[in-house]
Chain A
Amino acid sequence: MSAALLQPEKATLNGTAEELRGYVQSLEARLQDLETQMRELRERVPESRVSIVVMSGDLDRVLAAFVIATGAAAMGFQVSMFFTFWGLSALRQNRKLRGKRWLEKAFTLLTPVGAENLALSKLNFAGLGKMLLRKQMRDRQVSSLSELMQLARDLGVRFVACQMSMDVMGITAEELLPGVETGGVATFLADAAKSQVTLFI
């Protein structure tokens, strides 16, 4: 077999100006193709990012979510938290009934408002269990949920409330803490796709 057959690109270097031009053009096209592929690959590499869905409105579970979020933020991760359904209760700062339909009013009245009012998933005993847990946390110098939430904000954790759940439960943006963004599944997935850690709580 001749060298030209083994290395056709090199063989064309000895060709006419026309052939050389064609060769350079094909090289340019390949380079462009490679650059595009590189760019696409780079977009797929996970960043130092953590994304957490908080669906639960249970004090213990939300507490776990915020321990992870604040810890991750302190470790240098970019952290996004997405609050959906019962998880929205943690972000609420008040109750508004005006302008709501009766079912929305019922949801508004029957769901807790704010970190201080969440109930335990187990042993709540109409709030007694929760009171005892909070006493134990204070005695043991474990940060309260409100403190962790404030820390999370100070550390730049992104809070996104699920617009669809807000609509279903009749929760308005004015009822949520200031600075909370709203978004949907794509907002979550955009951050989650770039994350090394994703959690559903």
Chain B
Amino acid sequence: MSAEPINVKQELDVRGAKCPIPIIKARQEINRIPVGEVLRVIATDPGSVNDFKGWAQTAKNIELVRQEESTDSSGQRLFIHYLRRLA
């Protein structure tokens, strides 16, 4: 995945956390960054892919800029979400 780089303001590590914790933590974290900036969320929960899509569809104040999938050195699948705070 080599799309253009996204300027990330803040990173949130929710590896290991299960539904609904990734969304809850991301919500708390995105309130701490300025409007217009991007939060990068690193999760291991495969359900988070659809969860972040659903959240972005419902909420008016966030935009799901991109979602990526990768694997860490131990072979663990990672799901990375880029969220922009809109308001």
A and B part of one assembly: yes
Q: Interface of A with B (CB < 8 Å)?
A: 48, 67, 70-71, 73-77, 140-143, 148, 151, 155
Q: Can you pick out 7 interface pairs between chain A and chain B where the beta carbons lie within 8 Å of each other?
A: A73-B24, A74-B26, A75-B55, A75-B58, A76-B58, A141-B18, A155-B24
Asked whether B18 lies within 8 Å of A76 as measured between CB atoms, the reply is no
**Known: A75-B55, A76-B59. Contact between A67 and B19, CB under 8 A?**
yes
Which residues from chain B contact A76 at a C-beta distance below 8 Å?
Answer: 27, 58-61
| Measured CA separation A64–B57 after assembly (Å) | 22
Interface residue? B6 (CB, 8 A): no
How many residues of chain B are within 8 Å of chain A by beta carbon?
Answer: 18
Q: Is B49 an interface residue (CB 8 A)?
A: no
B21 contacts A by Cβ under 8 Å: yes
A70 to chain B, nearest CB (A): 5
Q: In angstroms, how far is the closest chain A Cβ from the Cβ of B63? A: 13
B18 adjacent to A74 (CB under 8 Å): no
Chain A residue at minimum C-beta to C-beta distance from B55: A75
In contact, A71 and B58 (Cβ under 8 angstroms) = no
B23 contact from A48, A74, A140, A148, Cβ within 8 A: A74
Beyond A75-B27, A75-B55, A76-B61, whether A142 also contacts B20 by CB under 8 A is no
Asked if A75 contacts B23 (CB within 8 A), the reply is yes
Q: A74-B24, A151-B24 are in contact. List 10 more A-B contacts (CB 8 A).
A: A70-B20, A73-B24, A74-B23, A75-B27, A75-B54, A76-B58, A143-B20, A143-B21, A148-B20, A155-B24
Residues B20 and A67 in contact, CB atoms below 8 Å apart: yes
Confirm or deny: B16 has a beta carbon within 8 angstroms of a beta carbon on chain A.
yes
Residues of B within 8 A of A71 (CB): 19-20, 23-24, 51
> Nearest chain A CB to B46's CB is how many angstroms away?
13
**Chain B residues numbered 43-65 whose CB sits less than 8 Å from any CB in chain A:** 51, 54-55, 58-61
B77 to chain A, nearest CB (A): 15
What 0/1 readout, one digit per residue, does chain B (5-24) give for beta carbons within 8 Å of chain A? 00000000000111111011
Contacts of A77 in B (CB 8 A): 58
| Cα A71 to Cα B24 with chains together (Å) | 7
Min CB gap A118→B, angstroms: 19
Q: Is the CB of B23 within 8 A of A143?
A: no
Task: Tell me the complex Cα distance, A67–B55, Å.
Answer: 14
Q: Which residue from chain B places its CB closest to the CB of A67 in the assembled complex?
A: B20
- List of 7 A-B pairs having minimum Cβ-Cβ separation, nearest first: A71-B20, A74-B27, A74-B24, A142-B18, A74-B23, A76-B59, A141-B16
Query: What chain A residues lie within 8 Å of B17 (beta carbons)?
Result: 141
